[in-house]
Each structure stands twice: as structure tokens, then as C-alpha cells.
Amino acid sequence: MEQSSARARATSALPVVIALLVIAVLFVVFRDTDDKDPSPAAPPTTASEKVDLSKLRASSTKTTIKAAPKDPRPTKVPKGTVVHPKRMLPLYDEPDGTAFAKIAPKQFGDTWLPVITRNRDWVQVLLPSKPNGSTGWLRSGDVQEAHSRFRVEVHLGSHELQLIEDGRLIGTWSVAIGAPGTPTPTGRTFVLGQITDEKQPFSPVILPLGSHSDTLDSYGGGPGTVALHGWTDPSVFGQSVSHGCVRVPDDALALLRTVPTGTPVMVDKA
């Protein structure tokens, strides 16, 4: 008798339970329908795709980009990491910041820029444009990364150039540097490219750097770009006689021409 009444109570409760379940299901269905965006999800947009590159000036050895951030540590030796922009890319004033210029994948051949700072998925690089010591930020996912095992050091006070490979000194040479009125600029820069011309009267190889004369806006038809190159008269070595370029002996030039683009160059007053 007690089992029969318990069964009856359970049976009479079923419609209530079923009704509550139906209401709960309907609530979930209608709630989900209201919250959903009926339009298809748009693919994520990168920072590079949001920028109108046509409105930005290209950073090159021929341009001046006054908005470029200055090198915060011009005497710190870079670690040798270099990057190559895979395409025309915007340059930013800071990570997730404002685009102020753009950089092309080619300058004198492929563009390789030394990395001076990392911040999450961003890299800060030295630039080839004026003023000297200009930098910019690139997304690390937009560049190809490599490593230069070389470093070039130019010591203006002693008129010496040193080539270093994997932290080991390869050689030291007496060189000619900028005259007092057209000094060689100090700070860290880099090998921007290599120009080979066997018919060139004073040097068959010229290595333009990412720095420029502080006193000459142009020289020899160019934009005043500082370079490493040879010289036919060895009596100039150890002297301050150039328009800002560093003139090196033939044996030094033979080694320097093997240095990859993007290699850091440190110039100091010592």
C-alpha cells in the first residue's frame, strides 16, 4: 500500500519535471540565439594591414624621417641579430604604437637591419635614414631573422678599424677618417649594402653604412652616406682627411667584403 502511493506521487510529479526541463531548454536556445552575431566572423587583421602604406615615407639612405625614435643606447654593442622585411612594412614608434614610416625589402640588394631591442613579438632596429641613430619597431612575425657573427669597430682617436668574428679579434688596421670639418659620425650603425665596381678609380668595393655626414647633405652626387672603402694612396692611413667615410687598406677591404649586410658597426671617439 505504501509502495503504491509512493509510485503514484512519483508519477504525478513527472509532468512538472518535464515542463521545467522544457522551459530550461527553451531558455538556453533563445538566449544563445539572441547573443550570437549572425554575420560570419572576420579573419584577424594584423597591424601591418591596418596601415595605409601609401601615406608613409620610406626609410632609406636618401630620406630624412624626423619622427623616428632616437637610438636609446648608441654605445651598446648589438648581439648580432639581423632581420629582413619580407615586404614593404610599416615602422612604428613603439610596440603597438603609431606607424611613422615604412621600410622596403631592398636597399642596396636585400635590406638587413640590426636588432637592438626585443619586446614581446616586436623588434627595434636601426634605420638607414637621417638623422643618424634613427630606429623603428617591426613585428617579428613580418621579418626573416638571421645572425651576423661579425662586428666592425672604428676608433676615431687611434685611427683604427677592427674586425671581430664571434667575439674574436680578426685584425686591426690603420685607417683614414673624416677631416675636422667633415667628421665621421659616432654611434652604432650597420653595413647597409655592398657596391662592387672594378672600374671605380679609388675602390673596387664600397660598403655604404646606415649613417650620414653631419655636415654634408650630399657628396659625389649621393646623399652624404658614410661608407667603408679602399684608397689608392696608403699615405692617408692614420690621418683625418676624408669627407666622413672610412678609408681602409686593401687587405682590410678584402675581409670586409665578406661581412654580411646588416652587420653592426660601432664608431667611437677612442
Q: Beta partners for 114?
A: 82
Q: Are 111 and 85 in contact (CB under 8 A)?
A: yes
Element (H, E) at 116: strand 113-119
Grid cell for residue 126: 636601426
- In this structure, the number of other CB atoms found within 10 A of the CB of residue 10 comes to 10
In this structure, the chain runs to a length of 270
CA dihedral sign of residues 139, 141, 147, 148: negative
Q: Give the Cα separation of 16 and 22 in Å (integer).
A: 10
Q: Give the Cα separation of 116 and 124 in Å (integer).
A: 6
Grid cell for residue 128: 638607414
Q: Beta partners for 187?
A: 267
Q: Give the Cα separation of 250 and 114 in Å (integer).
A: 26
CA dihedral sign of residues 162, 231, 258, 75: positive
**Letter for the amino acid at 232?**
T
Q: Give the Cα separation of 246 and 53 in Å (integer).
A: 35
CA distance readout (Å), 132 to 145, 170, 262: 24, 28, 16
Q: Are 248 and 156 in contact (CB under 8 A)?
A: no
Which residues are catalytic, by number? 229, 245
